[in-house]
Homo-oligomer: A and B are copies of this chain.
């Protein structure tokens, strides 16, 4: 297990692997690794000959300096966890390595994909920061495939868009959200939930469950959303959004429509000091047949 700090070292380390025809798999992370990240590393391990994990708390995707400052940094533990899950190489650059003096380039996804939901809440800069750092990391590693977590659903849509649009020769793979036994989606931010907040944090996954049940029962998008909002309210949690959208375009469903194709349901809410997000993809019941 090796740690590299610069793009030059990274490329030098990977060049012989690539020359030998070995498949390079990549998992970008912001560190503070938990079981969700490790599921990505294991998937990369299963699908690659060499697994690179990056650990980089990307400053440009934080709108809130307080959130950036509070983001947990646990590199030593991260390296051990990544190694245990099958990583061969950790790329852990300083910010100045990726954004040196004079740096001036941004990769941006324009339009609703990046401007709605998280983009609206966290500001335009959030997904610009994500798109830019993912582009830089993919061009540094040049992996055959990169693994992302379904928990950051909108990030996955944005990354897929950038990779397709710029023609980055990497396959994007997505791994299902890993949850605690009680349903809470794993997140590096969960560590900051106080004892009183932890039960309330279940509001998100339970609300998604209610929306899912309603859709599977044939409810309209509006009725399904109302079921989810009721669960959030019962937990005393006010959502930033609870949205039912088309999974690839993030186009919102009309409230009166009963979904007839896969629906992405996303929720974001503050619980105590922590902003949490979660999502689920729901397949509506098969239509009962045309008249």
**A124 part of interface (Cβ distance < 8 Å):** no
When C-beta atoms are compared, the residue in chain B nearest to A106 turns out to be B108
When C-beta atoms are compared, the residue in chain B nearest to A103 turns out to be B165
A108 — which chain B residues lie within 8 A by C-beta? 105-108
* Stretch in A22-30, A132-140, A172-180 touching the partner: A132-140
Total interface residues in chain A, CB < 8 Å: 27
Q: How far is the CB of A169 from chain B (nearest CB, A)?
A: 8
- Selected from B102, B109, B139, B162, the residue in CB contact (under 8 A) with A167 is B139
Q: How far is the CB of A230 from chain B (nearest CB, A)?
A: 35
**A7 part of interface (Cβ distance < 8 Å):** yes
Bound-complex Cα distance A139 to B163 (A): 11
A104 — which chain B residues lie within 8 A by C-beta? 109-111, 113-114, 161, 165
Q: Are A131 and B105 in contact (CB under 8 A)?
A: yes
Q: Interface residues, chain A, CB within 8 Å of chain B?
A: 7, 11, 102-111, 113-114, 131, 135-136, 139-140, 161-162, 165-169, 249
Bound-complex Cα distance A107 to B113 (A): 16
Q: Are A166 and B135 in contact (CB under 8 A)?
A: yes
Q: Which of A114, A139, A168 has the most CB atoms of chain B within a 10 A radius of its CB?
A: A139
Bound-complex Cα distance A113 to B104 (A): 9
Q: Which of A107, A161, A249 has the most CB atoms of chain B within a 10 A radius of its CB?
A: A107
A165 — which chain B residues lie within 8 A by C-beta? 103-105, 136
Bound-complex Cα distance A169 to B142 (A): 10
A113 — which chain B residues lie within 8 A by C-beta? 104
Q: How far is the CB of A93 from chain B (nearest CB, A)?
A: 11
21 contacts between A and B (CB under 8 A): A7-B167, A104-B109, A104-B111, A104-B161, A104-B165, A105-B108, A105-B109, A105-B161, A105-B166, A106-B107, A106-B108, A106-B109, A107-B107, A107-B108, A107-B166, A108-B108, A135-B166, A136-B165, A136-B167, A139-B166, A139-B168
